[in-house]
Structure 1
Amino acid sequence: MLYTLATIIVVVLIYFLFVYFTQKRVVKTLKEDEFKAGYRKAQLIDVREPNEFEAGHILGARNIPLTQIKMRMKEIRPDKPVYLYCQSGLRSGRAAQYLYRHGYRQLYQLEGGFKKWTGKIKTGK
């Protein structure tokens, strides 16, 4: 029993390390000032769900939720930088991995996500 539990813990740990290092390879994580310096010349994509986007988002962002990225990938140009963010950084990392597998190479994400953002925001109705 103890051996099985230890094996499961090791497998889960290896999986998380694999995901972490894969994301480090495919997407560059930027601090807020670096993100601000480049996102106006790029495609700024909020990968949170529409209700989260409406509650508040970075000025100029387009909402393409992670759950819809496969269907809406044609809306994102592969020849221009893509700046991604979500609430904390997990979903934007997953979106970056998906885009990378489909030929996108200039991928950036906001460190800490929207919850750490101190710049201008726009809220819905």
Structure 2
Amino acid sequence: MDTWTIVTIVLWIFIIGWGIWELIQYFRRKNAANTLENDEFRKNMRKAQIVDVRGKDEYEAGHILGARNIPYMNLKQRHVELRKDQPIYLYDEKKTLSYRAALQLKKQGFEDIHVLKGGYSEWDGKIKRKKKNV
């Protein structure tokens, strides 16, 4: 076999291995939390801890009323701020970070974790925006 054939085989093995790894991670994240539609999220949000996992600037620009901001990047250190005996409702702009956050919380022993389907961008409930200084 020539060099290019070996390189091509190695490249295909790498691509297939990476694809399998991503598929496994996708299902791990999906199994870490339940997905909630807007109505179900809104219906039970008073009984839950609502966590916005976006960055501080995005949170301050607008967030779901009653949510607290624990950015995904800080979740490892700040998970102690959450109670394990109450449901946790996570959201971000779409939902990608929320599932990663759910997996992180699952590793920390949290069980009752839910993610807003479609994230903040599809939320149709009450929101709070920071007032601009004039």
Indicate the TM-score class for this superposition, using the shorter chain for normalisation: over 0.9
Cα separation, 2, equivalents of 1:85 and 1:100? 16
Residue type of the alignment partner of 1:34: E
Q: Within 5 Å, which residues of 2 pair with 1:3-82? A: 3-82=9-88
Q: CA deviation at 1:70?
A: 1.4
Q: CA deviation at 1:36?
A: 1.2
Cα separation, 2, equivalents of 1:74 and 1:118? 30
Q: CA deviation at 1:24?
A: 2.1
Provide the TM-score with structure 1 as the length reference: 0.94
Helix, strand or coil for the counterpart of 1:39? helix
Cα separation, 2, equivalents of 1:51 and 1:94? 20
Q: Residue by residue, what CA displacement relative to the aligned partner does 1:40-68 show, whole Å, maximum 9, x if unpaired?
A: 21000000000000111000000000111
Q: 2:124 aligns with which of 118, 121, 124?
A: 118
Cα separation, 2, equivalents of 1:2 and 1:9? 10
**Aligned-CA RMSD value:** 1.1
Aligned length: 125
What are structure 1's unaligned runs of at least 5 residues? Answer: none
Helix, strand or coil for the counterpart of 2:77? helix
Q: In structure 1, what is the equivalent of residue 101 of structure 2?
A: 95
Where do 4+ consecutive residues of structure 1 move more than 3 Å? none
Cα separation, 2, equivalents of 1:116 and 1:9? 33
Cα separation, 2, equivalents of 1:5 and 1:38? 48
What are structure 2's unaligned runs of at least 5 residues? Answer: 1-6
